[in-house]
A and B are shown apart, each in its own frame.
Chain A
């Protein structure tokens, strides 16, 4: 059977596109680089999706109008967004709940530990993998040809017009099983390039070797590279990404959500030399969590260590790896490979600078330091009660923003002109909306909105003749 719409990817964006194209009557093939058991890219690690809505619905606890969503986006990106595409995304985010529910996705109230998102974000029952399973079931039911363990390795493009792609699926003897797949439209939904350490080096230098990639190892950016080489317009810069500080013991890839550490506001963070480098009590953690990836990346060896004492041990979400524990600061320093005297000096200086106050981790309390640089402006309590605990921090890359420039039809631009039959959705074009910064849950929003548009438009593009002019 000939392929009308070929889709590279296997996450939320790819499946939303596949479902919409199939519903519009197209023969759709989805090629997913990962094997079935690991399908779904970063989508399998997600928990929710930020959606605009005019009223709460029993699960979402209150209204979240488009304008408020827009304000939030402008604030986190510092205006670094395409206003037209941003507004389109947020307006159409209001359709996401119903759309996903119709595909069999189910929602639940916000998870324990994430109450701050209960109003704005729709949480998937069973998490992102459950959500993805529902999309896959629906795609299968609609007759979509889902191929796992199959990568797009080459794309034949002529003047912005897609002709065919080369796919590789496994090996036969000494050669990969290659297939040339001509199709009438192509959707690039293959994620960012965060799992490509060499590419990350272009933005981060050798520091990239110490990064943890929170999501799938399959997002290596091959499709993005090929498209850029074929003349597609680029959006964003190579170092822009969502980066957080994660537990340093996380595996290099695919550690997912559990490597998150929420303990920073409760202690101090020192670098390899045992020195503090930033105000740990600057803001509530969810608001600051995304800057610590970059802060740690800027430290020698890209490593940080949170040190807390016994007092706050149960005040934050449990960690997946147990902390290093010792009865003395010096003992702790030895366990985590720091100079005991240096850590002792840092802790002593910090303790001496803590002003008395009333500790309350649910508000900006008045526990702060005086005469210390950098200061700790809230939740500062002397680190005195053994046992002492330490967690290691590393930069954790969620996903990269540099990608393909698109228009409102999700068409990829070549030299400013929209392609007649090449579309992009999801991480690979997220940079159009997210120039910098991040808003929890907007990754899935971008993927769903543009996945739907790309699928529908790709099916519509079938009617365009080879020489037809792009809309």
Chain B
């Protein structure tokens, strides 16, 4: 398949709006200390095209710069950076997605994901109906043999990874080629994992209004780490199965359980918290598109967490079979939609942070400004001694 760079380079209304707002911000700069977006913006005079996509994905949507903006609506300049960035961000996932076919996957993302999850769950329920009844209680492989699981999940997972990699490559190129160094990667990972940019410059996120609070960032942490632990749990199961000759089911102290149970709890609590936060969100911060991409993603995560935990508690009961089908159906749909939904936000954002780390290291902010002086004393950074 070939790239379609035209799509990725498309000039769009969302891009133009971000570029328009960034021109105002660049003349203002009051939000410079809030997050990475503003220092990145200040390095340029033109914020069109791939630069707009880059800045949009650098924004963590903490909301702070909206409440701090002297030009927020009803001011005629109508600056609302979080909303403009959110719109463009979602659009950019669609524009860079690989293969660049069905745009409707993004336009009605919430509905698409909901339908896919339902269909996948139904398919698994149908396929696994009545299976494993004679097997040992708690033995998942009696319901779906290990080989079958691998045969079903490996291809879709591998495809998802490939599709995401292709998408992020397009995203990366649109903002201009740049070598990636280990140091930049490390810096970006640090920023990403600590969610440094989701703290409104230290005050906290603004969700329901101009009172900052730490909860959205906390819930995001829980969700991320919960997901990571669940993933690690699954991975450890695979390792034990193939390399340690220790097949499931596992006792509570085995790595899949030790990682999976807290992971499931964190994921469930975090996703539920994020959903509650979304309900409280100030309408001013909501994006114009009603794709409900974020909602679909968080609900899927919540479902993953809940069904995973339920399996843990109820694996020795007769509901185990149907429950496993529901869980596996959700996982399947999750893998399938990974490249075509909110999941990619983490990947694109990390890529943007890598670029940001690189730029900040490379360029001391150029003193593109009028000569400066404090009366009576020359304090021009970089200026030589004043000549008489």
Contact = CB atoms under 8 A, between A and B. Distances in A.
Contacts of B32: 108, 111-112
Interface residues of B, number: 53
Contacts of A362: 367, 371, 380, 382-384
A128 B67 CA distance: 11
A265 B73 CA distance: 34
Interface residues of A, number: 58
A317 interface: yes
B88 interface: no
Interface string B56-99: 00000000110111111111110000000000000000000000
A254 B370 CA distance: 24
B6 interface: no
B387 A286 contact: no
Interface string A86-122: 0000000000000000000010110111111111100
Contacts of B33: 108-109, 123, 125-126
B372 A106 contact: no
Given A106-B203, A116-B373, A129-B67, A363 B24 contact: no
A97 to B, nearest CB: 16
Interface stretch (A148-156, A256-264, A332-340): A256-264
A363 B201 contact: no
A256 B71 contact: yes
B74 A38 contact: yes
B55 interface: no
Contacts of B65: 126
Interface string B278-292: 000000000000000
A127 B42 contact: no
A317 B387 CA distance: 24
A126 B74 contact: no
B380 A130 contact: no
Contacts of A47: 30
Given A116-B372, A116-B373, A363-B380, A111 B70 contact: no
A465 interface: no
A130 B28 contact: no
Nearest to B31: A126
B133 interface: no
B30 A286 contact: no
B208 to A, nearest CB: 13
B311 interface: no
Contacts of A314: 45, 368
B362 interface: no
Interface of B: 23-24, 26-34, 39, 42, 45, 64-65, 67-77, 200-203, 210-211, 365, 367-376, 378-384, 386-387
Given A125-B34, A127-B28, A316-B369, 10 more contacts: A75-B375, A108-B32, A111-B32, A123-B33, A128-B30, A130-B64, A254-B75, A320-B23, A361-B371, A364-B386
11 contacts: A111-B29, A116-B380, A126-B31, A128-B70, A129-B69, A129-B70, A130-B30, A257-B30, A260-B27, A363-B371, A363-B387
Q: 7 closest A-B pairs (Cβ-Cβ)?
A: A127-B30, A126-B68, A262-B370, A362-B383, A108-B33, A116-B372, A130-B68
